[in-house]
Amino acid sequence: MISIDLIRNNKDLVKENIKKKFQDEKLVLVDEVYELDKEYRETKMKADEERGRINSLSKEIGILMANKNIDEANKIKKEVASIKANIPKLEEKEKNLEVEINKRMMVIPNIIASDVPIGKSDKENVCEEVFGKPKVFSYEIPYHADIMASFNGLDKEAAGKVSGNGFYYLMGDIARLHSAVLAYARDFMIDKGFVYCIPPFMIHGDAVKGVMSFEEQENMMYKIENQDLYLIGTSEHSMIAKFKDQILKESDLPIKMTSYSPCFRKEVGAHGIEERGVYRIHQFEKQEMVVLCKETDSEKWYDMMWRFSVELFNSLNIPVRKLVCCSGDLADLKYRSCDIEAWSPRQKSYFEVCSCSNLTDAQARRLKIRYKSENGEKKFVHTLNNTVIAPPRMLIAFLENNYQEDGSVLIPEVLRPYMGGKEKIEKK
């Protein structure tokens, strides 16, 4: 959510930002908020003036009563009663206007960075940098589900009977590999100075509204029937909401956390659920990184966070590239975002494995997360998040890039302590 001051003082900037995101249907909201806010401030001023009049007249009544001027005092008392009767109406109008303003402000997108490429969809995202030479093997790389099956490691058919499409059983060495990469990612981030955390896997509706747009919520979140609880789609949701309504100390910033959680997603939309493999599914596990910092530091942290992803994937023998998200592909709360995409030797192309975002103060405004500066000023924090690792999807890149001609899969040296010292896994 943006600051109301932007609409009060620079409507054109807000409208231009909406146009860059190709959301022209939201332009009318800016003018509506501007007019509603003007009425809200007038109403609030009127209510404050009436309260001031009551205080002034009350003092006058006291003087009149002290001077035994009872009749005049009673006249003013009637005037005070009339004013008091009007104040609740003004307060109710003020509250209703505030609700209407907030309803529209929640839909107006965050201001995006000036250097974000302009484009309508993810097809116009821009490759900025490649890390590691893409591998091309002399032998065929099987489909990832077939690699997993060759180790007796994947059963989607049984999962389909038990839970439906979009679920899976992982078994044996593949299940162990799944847990190993999560443990390695956890320790990787701890070594970077992040505090490890396991958050709640369900959150209240007000927390959901604080961390994501309504459209994202509709397409992603599973709601628990008859309860104000939602299954999280990423641990960022509960990690940021942890600080709801708090005023932090400047000396406590930045707050750096790495969190583990299962993630649940409806995956509603054009992409759909993958029938055979584990690329797009309803349930997965993830190690996340989250930072809360001062407004002057968020761009520095954004750059560090996506580079952590590059370093981690390269350590697992997986080439990656950085893809900058264009304006039309940015979720409404994001200031800027990039995807880290892993190389697929089978497809000879890249696919998304991490998503790094700077949301500036958009989430903090919704959740009222502030910090108190050394001079006593209260400011909104900036929030950032990035995927550390998200199996089983990232296992696609891992298996393909470490696949050997004999059907075995090499275990990179950094991962061997988490795999019982194994140097490779072999077909069953």
Cis peptide before 319 (omega within 30 of 0): no
Task: Give the predicted TM-score (pTM) of the model.
Answer: 0.89
Residue 387 tokens read as: 């995927």
Amino acid at 302: Y
- The label of the residue with tokens 């040296």 reads 413
Amino acid at 114: S
- Is the CB of residue 285 less than 8 Å from the CB of residue 389? no
CA distance 199 to 403: 35
CA distances from 13 to 3, 17, 112, 322 (A): 12, 6, 11, 29
Euclidean distance between CA atoms 78 and 96, whole angstroms: 28
State which amino acid sits at residue 165: N
- First-to-last CA distance in the chain? 53
Q: How far apart are CA 376 and CA 41, in angstroms?
A: 26
Buried b (16+ CB within 10 A) or exposed e, 336-370: bbbbbbbbbbbeeebebbbbbbbbbbbbbbbbebb
Taken in order of first residue, the domains within the chain and their CATH numbers are: 4-105 (1.10.287.40), 122-425 (3.30.930.10)
In 67-171, where does DSSP find H-type helix? 70-105, 144-150, 156-162
Query: pLDDT value at position 269?
Result: 56
User: In tens digits, what is the pLDDT along the chain, a chain of 428 residues?
Assistant: 899 999 999 999 999 999 999 999 999 999 999 999 999 999 999 888 888 878 788 777 777 777 777 777 777 787 778 778 788 888 899 999 999 999 999 999 999 999 999 999 999 999 999 999 999 999 999 999 999 999 999 999 999 999 998 899 999 999 999 999 999 999 999 999 999 999 999 999 989 988 887 777 777 889 999 999 999 999 999 999 999 999 999 999 999 999 999 999 987 554 556 668 898 899 999 999 999 999 999 999 999 999 999 999 999 999 999 999 999 999 999 999 999 999 999 999 999 999 999 999 999 999 999 999 988 999 999 999 999 999 999 999 999 999 999 999 999 999 999 999 999 999 87
Q: Are 260 and 389 in contact (CB under 8 A)?
A: no
CB atoms within 10 A of CB 387: 25
DSSP 8-state assignment for residue 381? -
Residue 41, CA distances (Å) to 36, 38, 85, 368 in order: 9, 5, 20, 21
Question: CA 112 from chain center: how many Å?
Answer: 15
In 287-420, alpha helices (H)? 298-315, 362-367, 393-401
